[in-house]
């Protein structure tokens, strides 16, 4: 037989836990696992602007042939404008290669494959980072290690330690950066820190690779791209992976984009030719539906306006959920200082919990969260936040 020696793989730390949650028969179980936006009633829905765009698209008689290998041009241009901002896209798009990809993960995958093939197989990721990053880089043949990022003592970024570490890296090491709403810590660089990081990376010839999966969910579309703007203005060559899963609620449509910023148009053309060879051999060309929806939202003035408002409502919901959690934690565990949670940004909150504490939360209370203590704030509702805070307080005290 061919397959009898195949060993069972480990479940995914995020989606695997989601499956465990679904299989749990307890009625009062609470799902804080996957980063998916839900409203206060814990419903997952298309954003109203995106729903409208989808309905309008369905009335159009659209082409049924293949998209180009690197996807729908109007989508790539619109997401380029969004990711880099109108002004900068106008000035720089001649040297930025763009491809539509299968979500943010697909973009990371293609970007990493391109770098491994052409430039570098050494990558450093933030400690901690999204559970899938290491696997993506390793599948492309890269060697990965971690750069110090989140300090549990400071409950924030330890910049001194981070910068000292980056200075030791060999030239052309790929440095994966979370553009905004760092996953899982919710701790982002300030404007001054981005500036200093950009200069340091330029001096040490490190390759910036931005993962941009939460654009618009931090402080808004303009402020959320500060880091990218600084790196672009400083003249870096870099890679940007953009996901439309969260900010367009297009999760299952797998919509994303890859941008490779080169020095000039000739380089862009050559880079693009290599990226297209990679995509062609992997899945030939991307599907059209989700990209058409996202492009339509951005092309129609009224829809875009509504989409910006929808994003604002999502940010408000996240901020309210965070505030409510902090209030309840302060009530149920007054001996612990949880004020640091207020400084975190985006869809997640990283609690001060270890593996034994998160396991206890799952086993005793049916409160599901990954073992690093990250919670997806959109799993909280006015009805369940007190129960979550009570459970967390119990395990913080040593249960």
Residues in contact with ligand LMR by the rule CB under 6 A: 14, 34-35, 130, 132, 183
| Minimum distance of ligand LMR from residue 183's CB (angstroms) | 5
Q: List CB contacts of 153: < 8 A, sequence separation 6 or more.
A: none
Neighbour count for residue 352 (Cβ, 10 Å)? 15
Smallest distance, ligand LMR to C-beta of residue 240, A: 17
User: Among residues 166 and 176, whose Cβ is nearest to ligand LMR?
Assistant: 176
Minimum separation from the CB atom of position 135 to ligand LMR (A): 11
DSSP, res 14: T
By C-beta, is 306 or 376 nearer to ligand LMR? 376
Q: How many CA atoms lie within 13 A of 264 on its CB side?
A: 1
Q: Which residue in 54, 246, 268, 345 is the catalytic one?
A: 246
Chain-centroid distance, C-alpha 123: 18
Are 271 and 97 in contact by the 8 Å Cβ rule? The answer is: yes
Contact 124, 145 (CB under 8 A): yes
Contact 95, 262 (CB under 8 A): yes
Q: How far is the CB of 17 from ligand LMR (least distance, A)?
A: 10
User: Least separation, in Å, of the C-beta of 27 and ligand LMR?
Assistant: 24
Pick 35 or 80: Cβ nearer ligand LMR: 35
Q: How far apart are CA 258 and CA 281, in angstroms?
A: 17
Q: Which tokens belong to 201?
A: 């990376």
Identify the helix (H) or strand (E) that includes residue 217.
Answer: none
The partner residues of 144 in beta bridges, in order of sequence, read: 123
- The yes-or-no answer on residue 194 being catalytic is no
Q: What are phi and psi of 192, to 5 degrees?
A: -65, -40
Candidates 89, 130, 194, 307; catalytic one: 130
Gap between the Cα atoms of 20 and 263, Å rounded = 47
Indicate the residue among 127 and 132 with the shorter CB distance to ligand LMR: 132
Cis peptide before 184 (omega within 30 of 0): yes
Residue of 31, 211, 224, 310 marked catalytic: 211
- 106/258 Cα distance (integer angstroms): 9
Of 130 and 248, nearer to ligand LMR (C-beta) is: 130
Cβ nearer to ligand LMR, comparing 193 with 372? 372
For residues 239 and 107, what is the distance between their CA atoms, to the nearest angstrom?
10
Minimum distance of ligand LMR from residue 375's CB (angstroms): 10
**Residue 158 is among the residues annotated as catalytic for this protein:** no
**Residues with a known catalytic role:** 130, 211, 246
């Amino acid at each position: 037989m061919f397959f009898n020696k195949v060993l069972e793989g480990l479940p995914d730390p995020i989606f695997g836990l989601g499956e465990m949650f679904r299989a749990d028969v307890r009625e009062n179980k609470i799902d804080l696992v996957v980063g998916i936006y839900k409203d206060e009633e814990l419903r997952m829905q298309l954003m109203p602007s995106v729903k409208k765009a989808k309905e309008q698209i369905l009335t159009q008689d659209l082409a049924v042939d293949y998209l180009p290998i690197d996807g729908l041009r109007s989508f790539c241009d619109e997401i380029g404008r969004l990711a880099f901002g109108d002004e900068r896209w106008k000035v720089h798009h001649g040297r930025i290669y763009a491809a539509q990809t299968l979500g943010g993960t697909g973009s990371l995958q293609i970007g990493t494959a391109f770098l491994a093939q052409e430039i570098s197989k050494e990558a450093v990721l933030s400690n901690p980072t999204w559970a899938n990053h290491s696997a993506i880089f390793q599948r492309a043949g890269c060697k990965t290690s971690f750069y110090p990022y989140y300090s549990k003592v400071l409950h924030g970024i330890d910049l001194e330690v981070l910068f000292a570490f980056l200075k030791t890296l060999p030239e052309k090491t790929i440095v994966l950066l979370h553009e905004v709403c760092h996953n899982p810590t919710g701790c982002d660089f300030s404007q001054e820190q981005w500036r200093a990081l950009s200069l340091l990376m330029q001096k040490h010839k490190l390759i910036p690779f931005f993962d941009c999966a939460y654009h618009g969910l931090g402080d808004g579309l303009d402020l959320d791209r500060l880091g990218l703007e600084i790196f672009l203005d400083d003249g870096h060559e870099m890679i940007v992976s953009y996901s439309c899963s969260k900010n367009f609620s297009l999760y299952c449509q797998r919509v994303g984009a890859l941008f490779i910023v080169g020095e000039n148009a000739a380089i862009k053309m050559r880079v693009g030719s290599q990226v297209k060879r990679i995509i062609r051999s992997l899945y030939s060309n991307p599907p059209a539906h989700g990209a058409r929806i996202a492009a339509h939202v951005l092309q129609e003035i009224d829809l875009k306006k509504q989409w910006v408002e929808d994003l604002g409502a999502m940010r408000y919901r996240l901020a309210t959920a965070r505030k409510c959690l902090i209030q309840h934690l302060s009530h149920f565990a007054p001996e612990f200082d949880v004020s640091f949670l207020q400084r975190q940004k985006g869809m997640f909150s990283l609690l001060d919990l270890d593996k034994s504490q998160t396991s206890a939360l799952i086993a005793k209370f049916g409160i599901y969260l990954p073992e690093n203590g990250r919670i997806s704030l959109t799993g909280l509702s006015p009805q369940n936040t007190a129960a979550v805070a009570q459970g967390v307080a119990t395990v913080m005290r040593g249960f």
